[in-house]
Structure 1
Amino acid sequence: MIQTGIVFLVGAGPGDPDLITVKGMKCLQQAEVVVYDRLANPALLEYAPPLAEYVYVGKEPKRHRLPQDEINAVLVQYAQQGKRVVRLKGGDPFVFGRGGEETAVLAAAGIPFEVVPGISSALAVPAYAGIPVTQRQMAQSFTVVTGHTCCDDDPFGANWEDLPTTGTLVILMGVRYLPQITKRLLAAGRSPDTPAATIRWGTTPQQEVIVGTIANIAEKAKYIAPPAISVIGEVVAMRESLDWFVPVVKTAVSTSTSQFFVSQQVILDS
């Protein structure tokens, strides 16, 4: 009888491969199967043993390689074969990563699992843009919401009108809906002059930052495509003096990084 394996839900961090945790790296080093997402940097696969199996289950806007229920089934299937499985997820598995759904399925199937938290893009990406999400006498709290359900009638989506009008607001997966989001925030009482920023590919050599206000950020960032997050609040103004991260622009390093992303996709999609 085959002994049941184990699944490690590992947060890959926000993009920079050096931001994975030590425990996450150790899990990868012992993995027999790595099931990974689009936003998990493929460079992290180098930590896995040479004979490890890689399963790409990346999701893109309006294009999912595998539905969530099939991803759940993949995890159960490999674990039932006695494998040590690493489920490598961008950011943190339990911050809009559907990690709760996956662990619930594993628990129901009697599959042992562990959760290895990762650095969420909600914290790391603003930091790489020189924006602290909290600051004394400026922002005593911060709120993280998904913008993905802004235009849906989802009863579990964010109630934009009830969000705090003070403090910092970090919006994940909402760049496509910025016009609707900013309109609702203004209607809820946010000042149109409130500083705002949209950050694409944060923490990576391709990082791009657009700065404006609630009134104009949607227009200024209209050509920004996912993955991107938006930050709204007075702390955004601190970027002017705290902008420390200089992305590698148009060099051999950034080119090779982009090619690595593409080559892994081709190999795993073939």
Structure 2
Amino acid sequence: MSAAPGTVALVGGGPGPVDLLTVRALRLLRAADVVIADRLGPADEIGAELRAEALLIDVGKRPGHHPVPQAEINHLLIAHALAGRAVVRLKGGDPFVFGRGGEEFAACLAAGIPVEVVPGISSAIAVPQAAGVPVTHRGLASTVHVVSGHDVDGPRGPSAATLAALADAAVTTVVLMGVRALPGLIAAALAHGVPPQRPVAIIENGYTPRQRTTRTTLGEAVRAAEQAAVRSPAVIVIGEVARAGLLLPAPTSLAAVAAPVAAGPAL
């Protein structure tokens, strides 16, 4: 074991394409001894950017399947760094936006490991953009409320803050990891008095050849999602900015699925 510890960099991988990584992220990846990668983000394409001798460890989570618990991920970061290695923890989106980056940062500090955070483009902004949905729009939406589906899927349901955001026409609500939680979230919103005509866009597989968008309304969202067989990963946008035809041509029917888009429109 090396006398001096290595380093850990918590790197935001953005929404997927390697060319949306920051320059600093690429520099750290190319110099890394160990890369511990999530499922989302650029994990599938990153191998070409790594040194031949670099160790790539997949710790990606899938819905209902978390093969490597967070405590074990923390242990991997610390163990490799204590062995004197340069470690990159590659995360989808941004490390501090529902990425448990704060937990990993605290664990490294507690172990005496030098750690830095490299921001990435959050899917909360990038994936709607790829589908032509701006999360803010002058005269239409001036505030963004981002919530995890895990936080609204339970006996307590969505928080008062989330319900207030859904009810405010000037707020865009973005739900990450929310496909399973969608029926409960919609039921709670309607019971809270949110208008059933509030626009909804569900964007699956953002920034991949399989990207598609289901446009619907709050009152029809559950039926539309079932009809389209919506699956994770998906970003759900609820608010006036999700209105069909706002930026892109309106589909022929309200609950319509757009053609796949590999790399969103130039907005």
TM-score, normalised via structure 2 length: 0.87
Deviation at 1:161, TM superposition (A): 3.2
- Corresponding residue number in structure 2 for 1:101: 103
Kept after mapping to 1: 8 A contact 2:131/2:261: no
Q: 1:220 aligns with which of 218, 224, 236?
A: 224
Question: Map of 1:130-169 to 2, 5 A cutoff?
Answer: 130-153=132-155, 158-159=159-160, 160-163=162-165, 165-166=167-168, 167-169=171-173
Deviation at 1:190, TM superposition (A): 1.5
User: Partners in 2 of 1:206 and 1:16 — Cα distance?
Assistant: 14
- Over residues 229-269 of structure 1, what are the superposed CA-to-partner deviations in whole Å (9 max), with x where a residue is unaligned? 10011111265533799625xxxxxxxxxxxxxxxxxxxxx
The secondary structure found in structure 1 opposite 2:219 is: coil
Whose helix proportion is higher, 1 or 2?
A: 1
Kept after mapping to 2: 8 A contact 1:145/1:158: no
- Over residues 7-60 of structure 1, what are the superposed CA-to-partner deviations in whole Å (9 max), with x where a residue is unaligned? 000001112222111111111011010000111322023211111001110111
- Corresponding residue number in structure 1 for 2:254: none
Deviation at 1:204, TM superposition (A): 1.5
- Over residues 111-163 of structure 1, what are the superposed CA-to-partner deviations in whole Å (9 max), with x where a residue is unaligned? 100000000000000100101111111101111001113232579x7444343
- Corresponding residue number in structure 2 for 1:70: 72
Deviation at 1:215, TM superposition (A): 0.5
User: Partners in 2 of 1:207 and 1:164 — Cα distance?
Assistant: 25
User: Partners in 1 of 2:190 and 2:150 — Cα distance?
Assistant: 18
Q: 2:261 aligns with which of 247, 250, 253?
A: 247
Percent identical pairs in the alignment equals: 45
Q: 2:92 aligns with which of 72, 90, 93?
A: 90
What is the total number of aligned residue pairs between the two structures? 248
User: Partners in 2 of 1:246 and 1:38 — Cα distance?
Assistant: 21
User: Partners in 1 of 2:152 and 2:134 — Cα distance?
Assistant: 25
- Corresponding residue number in structure 1 for 2:186: 182
Higher mean C-alpha displacement, 158-167 vs 207-216? 158-167
Question: Residues 233 and 161 (structure 1 numbering): CA distance in 2 closer, same or farther, change over 3 Å?
Answer: closer
The secondary structure found in structure 2 opposite 1:61 is: coil
The secondary structure found in structure 1 opposite 2:80 is: helix
Structure 1's unaligned 5+ residue stretches are 249-270
User: Partners in 1 of 2:159 and 2:7 — Cα distance?
Assistant: 34
- In the alignment, structure 1 residue 191 sits paired with structure 2 residue 192: no
- Corresponding residue number in structure 1 for 2:252: none
Kept after mapping to 1: 8 A contact 2:5/2:113: yes
User: Partners in 1 of 2:205 and 2:18 — Cα distance?
Assistant: 13
Poorly superposed stretches of 4+, deviation over 4 Å: 243-246
Kept after mapping to 2: 8 A contact 1:129/1:245: no
Higher mean C-alpha displacement, 36-45 vs 2-11? 36-45
User: Partners in 1 of 2:159 and 2:18 — Cα distance?
Assistant: 31
